[in-house]
Amino acid sequence: MKLSLSSVYTPYSFPIILKSYAFSNLCKPFCSSALSSSPPISLKPQVPLFLRPPIYSTKFCDFKKWHDWAKGIASSIGSTFVNSDNGPDSSILCRELKWLMEDAVEDHSLFSKMGFENYDERVKMRVGIEELYDLWKERIEKRRPFQYVVGCEHWRDLVLSVQEGVLIPRPETELIVDFVCDVVSKNEDLKRGVWADLGTGSGALAIGIGGASGIGGRVIATDINPVSVAVAAYNVQRYCLQDKIEVREGSWFEPLKDIEGKLAGLVSNPPYIPSKEISGLQAEVGRHEPRVALDGGIDGMDYLFHLCDGAALFLKPGGYFAFETNGEQQCRALVDYMKNKRSESLCNFEIVADFAGIQRFVIGFHH
């Protein structure tokens, strides 16, 4: 789990929220019919800022005034947020400001004119100048996650819509798609089968698997949160994968009762932060991201154990699973649980490290 702001979630190895935000990389096609505007926390998904039409205009001097004000605030933060909760420092905030400008302004060549005092061209923008002030105030004063400010997150080769009420996908989770690509490349039966992404959030894993792994079958994404369901469906439609990926609302395995014992594969990045650690997370996470997507119970293991129990029932013989955890301690506890409680159904367990070398994932098969 992760966020493109700055830093590390120290408690329990919750992965870092730091990722390059190259807005030029929209590699996949998207369906224009999916685009529609809406307020935050709505079942009607918000359109990312960079996809909105440039219907606003302001004087260059007014835009420069906003930029200088915003950069001054970002620079004044210094290491205050870092010292408080390992949040973003000034250099990261200034980088985010540049990305915000790139998303908001149609003509990026104007940025080279920022040092000119008497430049009088108008600036075409995707958001009004007053809203730009509001957005940057929210970023700094409320510590609103940058991804919620601009309405998207770059993940693998995707640009996924995200908004309040939806977990921001983290870079570590990208590795699960690589695991799936590897296993289906060696097994034609798994490639043709039905896969499930439980607790899909923005739909990242489902879209990554459905679009990149060469799976010939379909993918079912489930989430109990109706906002996540709406945003995941929006992202699926943007990448024109609605014929391959189905999004269902419901808790974990409940929406999958029609395919019990038939799944070729099962993946999940469930809530795994111990309840008592939520208050110690970076403000961007603890204050703003949905607790239902973070809180894994007293020891963070509640949903991980539930996933193991469900994998034993819902995977077909030879089916594959990959689960993300909070680190080595949870990985070992999960493997011990399956060896002691589910060894008649599940086998070939393996613990795999993330980009930082932290033991992050547990993978395995059904007998």
Give pLDDT tens digits for 185-239.
Answer: 999 999 999 999 999 999 999 999 998 766 778 999 999 999 999 999 999 999 9
- Give the rounded percent of residues in the chain with a pLDDT score beyond 70: 87
Residue 32 predicted with pLDDT over 70:
no
Residues 213, 305, single domain; the answer is yes
- Where is pLDDT greater, at 174 or 110? 174
Question: Alpha helix locations (H) across the chain?
Answer: 60-77, 80-85, 90-104, 129-141, 146-150, 174-185, 188-192, 204-212, 226-238, 283-286, 302-314, 328-341
54-102 pLDDT tens trace: 999 999 999 999 999 999 999 999 999 999 999 999 999 999 999 999 9
138, amino acid identity: E
Residue 318 lies in a domain: yes
Residue 299 predicted with pLDDT over 70:
yes
- Where is pLDDT greater, at 40 or 192? 192
Paired tokens of 363? 């993978």
* pLDDT value for 114: 77
Domain end among 150, 171, 206: 150
Number of domains, the chain: 2
* pLDDT value for 213: 62
In DSSP terms, which residues pair with 246 in a beta bridge? 220
Residues 63, 184, single domain; the answer is no
* pLDDT value for 54: 96
Residues 197, 166, single domain; the answer is yes
Phi-psi region of 131 (alpha: psi -120 to 50; beta: other; left: phi over 0): alpha
Residue 33 predicted with pLDDT over 70:
no
Paired tokens of 307? 């996933």
Integer Cα distance of 161 and 88 in angstroms: 22
Residue 33 lies in a domain: no
Residue 20 predicted with pLDDT over 50:
no
* pLDDT value for 117: 67
Residues 101, 183, single domain; the answer is no
Residue 233 lies in a domain: yes
Residues 168, 115, single domain; the answer is no
Q: Could you tell me where the beta strands, DSSP code E, fall in 255-358? A: 263-268, 315-324, 346-353
Residue 268: CATH number of its domain:
3.40.50.150
Residue 18 lies in a domain: no
pLDDT band at 281 (very low <50, low <70, confident <90, very high): very high
Where in the sequence is the domain holding 74, given as residue range(s)?
50-150
Residues 283, 355, single domain; the answer is yes
Residue 3 predicted with pLDDT over 90:
no
Integer Cα distance of 260 and 110 in angstroms: 57
Residue 180 lies in a domain: yes
Residues 207, 80, single domain; the answer is no
Residue 271 predicted with pLDDT over 80:
yes
Q: What is the mean pLDDT of residues 23-37?
A: 34
* pLDDT value for 217: 84
Integer Cα distance of 363 and 353 in angstroms: 11
- Give the rounded percent of residues in the chain with a pLDDT score beyond 90: 82
Residues 353, 295, single domain; the answer is yes
Residues 199, 346, single domain; the answer is yes
Residue 175 lies in a domain: yes
Q: What is the mean pLDDT of residues 114-127?
A: 83
Residue 307 predicted with pLDDT over 50:
yes
Q: What is the mean pLDDT of residues 150-171?
A: 96
Q: What is the mean pLDDT of residues 355-366?
A: 96
Paired tokens of 278? 């939520």
Residues 117, 161, single domain; the answer is no
Q: What is the mean pLDDT of residues 13-24?
A: 37
Residue 176 lies in a domain: yes
Q: What is the pTM of this model?
A: 0.87
Q: What is the mean pLDDT of residues 254-258?
A: 96
Residues 102, 160, single domain; the answer is no
Residue 108 predicted with pLDDT over 70:
yes
DSSP state of 119: -
Domain end among 109, 128, 150: 150
Residue 134 lies in a domain: yes
Q: Could you tell me where the beta strands, DSSP code E, fall in the chain? A: 56-59, 122-125, 152-155, 158-161, 194-198, 219-223, 245-249, 263-268, 315-324, 346-353, 359-366
Residues 274, 361, single domain; the answer is yes
pLDDT band at 21 (very low <50, low <70, confident <90, very high): very low
Domain end among 104, 126, 150: 150
| Sequence-ordered list of residues with C-beta below 8 angstroms from that of 191, at least 6 positions apart, any chain | 184, 185, 213, 214, 215, 216, 217
